[in-house]
Amino acid sequence: MSNNKKGKLNKLQKIKPITFRTNLLNKSNSIFKTRKERIKAKTAFRDSKYDKFLISGRCDAKCGNYILKLTHIPKTNDFDITISFLSKEISLSHIDFPYQKEAIKNILLKNTNDFKMHPICLGIIRKYDKLRNKYYYQIKVSIDLEATKSYINEDISTGIIGMDFNYKHLDITEIDKYGNIINYFTINYDVNGTSHQNALSLREALNEVFTYANSKHKCVVIEDLDLIKTKNKNNKFRNVINKIVCIINSCEIPLGTKIEGGLRMPHFNGIIINKDSIIGKNCTIYQQVTIGSNELKSQGAPIIGDNVYIGAGAKILGNITIGNNVRIGSNAVIVKDIPDNSTVYSKSEIVIRNNSHA
């Protein structure tokens, strides 16, 4: 074979990245004054498109993957990864996975002992650390967690733990085996940080839920989230349904009213809430209650704190704030701010008593 043919074959064997729209980076483009600038831009463009890759797992492959082998090192309690590709071998040592390490070890053990392999998927992502001014690599392993569990609790004979996803919080309801609600609480999670911080906050909230469920020996039931239907909701239809519900129950609670989780209304009849009002968490509102504006004195609507009890027939009017843990008696008329931990009732006049000194 001639040297010319050997040179062409060697070029074909080299792996070359494929990029699109690179015609914008060719020599004729006048935005780059020098060859160095053009090469730098081309490299940055290519790196931005090829900053990660994924190796899919197979259940018919040895060790759950044809290309890679993941090995647990008991002495250091970390992992080694060996990637075999095109007669070449790449080894990565002392890889630590901070999450689901035990689950990964269980999968590796099953792949050693079981006849059927469990797929292991590997992803490598190149990231840039601005503070240290250098690149680093993040390694992700995807496994089937269900395969790591010898038993999944689907028994509802002891009751269930219901979980409802909401913006910034999870509503948790514990139900006994007879269908009675025996506990209710809310777990908050952060949505104002970075995507990584928000994901960690949500993960911590979910861990708290499942830890609680495990301590009660109950399974967790989660609402069926249909994001497509949620995005395609018809506002006119929602308004019609809201009007029907309000007419049937002789109440008025406009759509869009800011109400936090845990609101209880044992009797809907006659309840009127201004659309600009804010209702805190775990509040209880009885029949014939009005929460609205007081146009004679000031604009604005009330802000109700957390854990507030509002008795039947009470009127809360104006741009005022009701503190946390406040109890408002029946037929009380509130037109000024109420501090935390207070009880308000009305006979001939309004009396405020601080619960913390009772």
The answer, yes or no, to whether residue 148 has pLDDT greater than 70, is no
Residue by residue, DSSP assigns 108-127 as HHHHHH-SS----EEEEEEE
Torsion, CA 318, CA 324, CA 329, CA 331, rounded to 10: 20
Average pLDDT of the residues in 222-232: 56
Fold of 235-357: UDP N-Acetylglucosamine Acyltransferase; domain 1 (2.160.10)
Helices then strands, counting H and E runs in the chain, come out as 6, 23
- Report whether pLDDT(220) > 70: yes
Contact, 281 vs 297, CB < 8 A?
no
* CA distances for 23 relative to 27, 37, 38, 46, 160, angstroms: 9, 15, 12, 13, 60
Better-scored residue on pLDDT, 349 or 244:
244
Tokens linked to 146 = 């269900």
Q: What is the rounded distance in angstroms from the CA atom of residue 1 to the CA atom of residue 275?
A: 84
The helix/strand/coil state of 344 is: strand
Q: Which among 5-19, 122-136, 194-208, 269-283 has the top mean pLDDT? A: 269-283
Q: What pLDDT is attached to residue 307?
A: 92
CB neighbour burial string for 156-190, b if at least 16 within 10 angstroms, e if fewer: eeebbbbbeeeeebbbbbbbeeeeeeeeebbbebe
Residue 165: strand pairing partners = 170
| pLDDT score, position 345 | 78
Contacts of 97 (CB under 8 A, 6+ apart): 79, 104, 139, 141
C-alpha span between 116 and 265 (Å, rounded): 54
Q: Is 228 helix (H, G, I), strand (E, B) or coil?
A: helix
Burial 221-256 (b: 16+ CB within 10 A, else e): eeeeeeeeeeeeeeeeeeeeeeeeebeebebbbeee
Residue with tokens 């002392």: 94
The pLDDT of residue 66? 77
Q: Does domain 160-227 have CATH number 3.40.50.10480?
A: no
| Residues in Cβ contact with 116 at an 8 Å cutoff, skipping those fewer than 6 apart | 59
Q: What pLDDT does residue 228 have? A: 46
Mean pLDDT for 151-168 is: 78
* Among 287, 281, 267, 284, residue whose Cα is nearest residue 331: 287
Q: Please classify residue 60 by burial: count the beta carbons closer than 10 Å to its beta carbon, then call 0-12 exposed, 13-18 middle and 19+ buried.
A: exposed
Give the model's pLDDT for residue 102.
82
Which residues is 183 bridged to in the sheet? Answer: 174
Residue 117 vs residue 222, higher pLDDT: 222
* Kind of pairing between the strands at 278-279 and 52-55: unpaired
Top pLDDT among 202 and 229 is at 202
Higher pLDDT, 2 or 335: 335
Q: Where are the domains of the chain?
A: 56-148, 160-227, 235-357
Question: What is the structure's pLDDT at 309?
Answer: 93
